[in-house]
């Protein structure tokens, strides 16, 4: 049995030493553009740095690899500068083409090991323009707003063609949640050159169109030099108001126990709402103030949300269903809510309330520390320094090896 255990430990240790750890590789320090427009015969030299391993193999991939050569001063060596020379042909199909520069962890002796192999790559993009005019929608964007406010709606337009788009303009249609048309808006007009991107915009006034609270949809259409582009882009946006709603709470708590209680909040407001808290009035009349939370709007088109955590004491309550008052406080406003709370029998949860340290407690603690420091200073440095001087004086007197001069031993010099 002991031999088996010893053998297993020996093999495990041997495996660890044989396996080559993955150190990782990296590519950085480019010295040229990583996105270029196709030109026949154009030559670009890309210098880059590979690092993070003692043996790195460099290679090239992608549909442009046949037009590139790699200049590596130390193949399969350690960190170093490497060059890739890309020479474009006389013709490329319209669209996007890519050259990938790859750094791969290499074995120092050319043999495979048990460890994994790390590899990283980065790309150079070459875009060949389409004949004529080639409009491309990039996006339609609308910012959330509140009642009686205005918002800007934009359309992004790129031209991937060889010819300039002289006059591009957009039409944006706004729909409500029931897909009813609320507004039809016209953007400004712009000119878009080859391989350029422009923004077209318009303004939506919530008051002018009598918008109410809710989610809306903006659909963008484009006309380029009198020709309607046959596809659209769209986005959702919210018209909100400063109102915080309780969307969910903990439905039940255990009798005669300390219970965690959660209140989930949501708002239609177009931005974040800071320092939101609640006051919970229990059936016995006790009022519990919760900690403050910030309601964060995660993304455009989403609603600010937050969760309040409180601790409810149910000692002295009977089992049953209660209506408790939860009043929310935010930005100088308050909102009262009647919430159903069920108190049930069950095993008391193992919950310890967080220790809350008041500012007065911190102030008193700092005061005590200062007093102790001052007292210690006077005891050690002031009083201690005097004792040291006196001690040195006494030790010099009491030591028989140190002779103290007497008055009789002092003689004037002979003349």
Q: What is the reported pLDDT for 379?
A: 73
Strands 244-249 and 150-159: unpaired
Note whether 135-240 and 244-344 share their fold.
yes
Q: What is the reported pLDDT for 382?
A: 60
Rounded to whole angstroms, how far apart are CA atoms 327 and 260?
18
pLDDT tens across the length of the chain (415 residues): 555 544 445 454 444 444 444 446 777 766 667 889 999 999 999 998 988 778 899 999 999 999 999 999 999 898 999 999 999 999 999 999 999 999 998 765 544 344 456 788 888 999 999 999 999 988 899 999 999 999 999 999 999 999 999 999 999 999 999 999 999 999 999 999 999 999 999 999 999 999 999 999 999 999 999 888 888 999 999 999 999 999 999 999 999 999 999 999 999 998 999 999 999 999 999 999 999 999 999 888 889 999 999 999 999 999 999 999 999 999 999 999 999 999 999 998 877 666 555 566 776 878 788 788 777 777 766 655 545 444 444 444 444 444 444 444 444 444 3
- Which top CATH class is 244-344? mainly beta
Map residue 282 onto helix, strand or coil: coil
Domain ranges of the chain: 33-128, 135-240, 244-344
Q: What is the reported pLDDT for 372?
A: 82
Q: What is the reported pLDDT for 180?
A: 96
Closest CA to 292 of 324, 244, 240: 244
Angle (CA) 253 256 257, round 5°: 60
Q: What is the reported pLDDT for 277?
A: 97
Q: What is the reported pLDDT for 301?
A: 81
Map residue 315 onto helix, strand or coil: coil
Rounded to whole angstroms, how far apart are CA atoms 294 and 301?
18
Q: Which CATH superfamily is domain 135-240 in?
A: Immunoglobulins (2.60.40.10)
Q: What is the reported pLDDT for 18?
A: 42
Rounded to whole angstroms, how far apart are CA atoms 97 and 61?
11
Which helix (H) or strand (E) covers residue 366, if one does? helix 359-377
pTM: 0.64
Q: What is the reported pLDDT for 369?
A: 87
Distances (CA, A) of 159 to 134, 166, 177, 182, 279: 5, 11, 33, 30, 57
**Domain 33-128 adopts which CATH fold?**
Immunoglobulin-like (2.60.40)
Closest CA to 193 of 164, 219, 152, 217: 164
């Amino acid at each position: 049995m002991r031999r088996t255990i010893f053998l297993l430990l020996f093999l495990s240790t041997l495996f660890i030493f044989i396996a080559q750890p993955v150190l990782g590789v990296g590519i950085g320090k480019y010295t040229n553009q990583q996105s270029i427009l196709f030109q026949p015969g154009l030559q670009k030299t890309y210098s880059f740095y590979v690092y993070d391993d003692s043996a790195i193999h460099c290679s090239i991939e992608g549909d442009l690899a046949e037009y590139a050569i790699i200049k590596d001063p130390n193949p399969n060596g350690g960190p170093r500068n490497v060059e890739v020379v890309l020479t474009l042909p006389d013709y490329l199909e319209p669209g996007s083409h890519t050259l990938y520069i790859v750094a791969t962890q290499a074995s120092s002796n050319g043999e495979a090991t048990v460890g994994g192999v790390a590899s990283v790559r980065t790309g150079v993009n070459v875009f060949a323009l389409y004949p004529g005019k080639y409009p491309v929608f990039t996006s339609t964007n609308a910012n959330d707003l509140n009642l009686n406010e205005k918002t800007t709606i934009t359309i992004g337009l790129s031209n991937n063609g060889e010819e300039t788009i002289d006059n591009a303009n957009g039409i944006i249609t706004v729909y409500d949640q029931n897909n009813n048309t609320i507004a039809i808006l016209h953007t400004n007009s712009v000119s878009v050159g080859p391989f350029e991107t422009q923004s077209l915009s318009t303004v939506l006034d919530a008051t002018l169109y009598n918008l109410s609270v809710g989610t809306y949809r903006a659909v963008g259409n484009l006309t380029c030099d009198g020709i309607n582009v046959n596809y659209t882009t769209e986005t959702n946006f919210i018209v909100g108001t400063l109102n915080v709603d309780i969307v969910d709470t903990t439905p039940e708590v255990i009798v005669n126990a300390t219970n965690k209680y959660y209140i989930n909040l949501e708002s239609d407001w177009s931005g974040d709402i800071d320092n939101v808290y609640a006051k919970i009035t229990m059936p016995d009349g006790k009022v519990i103030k919760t900690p403050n939370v910030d309601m964060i709007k995660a993304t455009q088109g989403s609603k600010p949300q937050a969760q309040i955590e409180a601790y409810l004491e149910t000692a002295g309550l009977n089992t049953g269903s209660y209506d408790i008052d939860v009043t929310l406080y935010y930005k100088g406003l308050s909102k009262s809510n009647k919430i159903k709370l069920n108190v049930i029998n069950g095993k008391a949860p193992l919950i310890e309330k967080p220790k809350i340290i008041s500012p007065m407690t911190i102030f008193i603690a700092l005061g005590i520390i200062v007093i102790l420091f001052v007292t210690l200073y006077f005891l050690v440095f002031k009083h201690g320094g005097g004792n040291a001087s006196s001690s040195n004086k006494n030790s010099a007197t009491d030591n028989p090896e140190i002779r103290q001069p007497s008055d009789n031993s002092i003689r004037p010099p002979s003349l």
